[in-house]
Amino acid sequence: MPRARLALTIGVVLFVASCVLPCGPLLDEIGASFPYQDPTPEMLEKQAAEIAAAEQALAARLQITVGVVLVGAAATAYGLWAWHRTRRSRRQAKIADR
């Protein structure tokens, strides 16, 4: 597999991964924030602690996601650059052969 295609593939996979990464903590936060029917004070405290933990996990996961997106963007940019460079050199070689 050429380097350009490999870099493009890795970039796309990282972009998809960055979309999926925050889903777990986000769903945890949504599930924890559903209100109880007739809650006791202990249940409200437990729910508040679960929501806070889910928000912290989401914030950490979003920071990781930003890093993954940046690496994916760099890999995609390199792949596009290498693909364009290879394609241009092939065209110039064909023109020189004529």
What sections of 1-98 are H helices per DSSP? Answer: 3-20, 23-32, 41-97
Residue-wise over 6-20: b if at least 16 C-beta within 10 A, else e?
Answer: ebbebbeebbeebee
**Domain range for 76:** 3-97
Is 24 in a helix, a strand, or coil? helix
Q: Can you give the pLDDT at residue 90?
A: 74
For 4, the token pair is: 């350009």
| pLDDT beyond 80 at 64 | yes
86: left (phi over 0), alpha (psi -120 to 50) or beta: alpha
Q: How many domains, the chain?
A: 1
What are the tens digits of pLDDT across the range 9-36?
A: 999 999 999 999 888 888 888 888 888 8
Q: Can you give the pLDDT at residue 11?
A: 92
Crossing angle for the helix pair 3-20 and 41-97, nearest 10 degrees? 160
Give the C-alpha distances (Å, rounded to integers) separating 49 from 11, 54, 63, 69.
Answer: 37, 9, 21, 30
- The residue type at 36: Y
Q: Can you give the pLDDT at residue 98?
A: 65
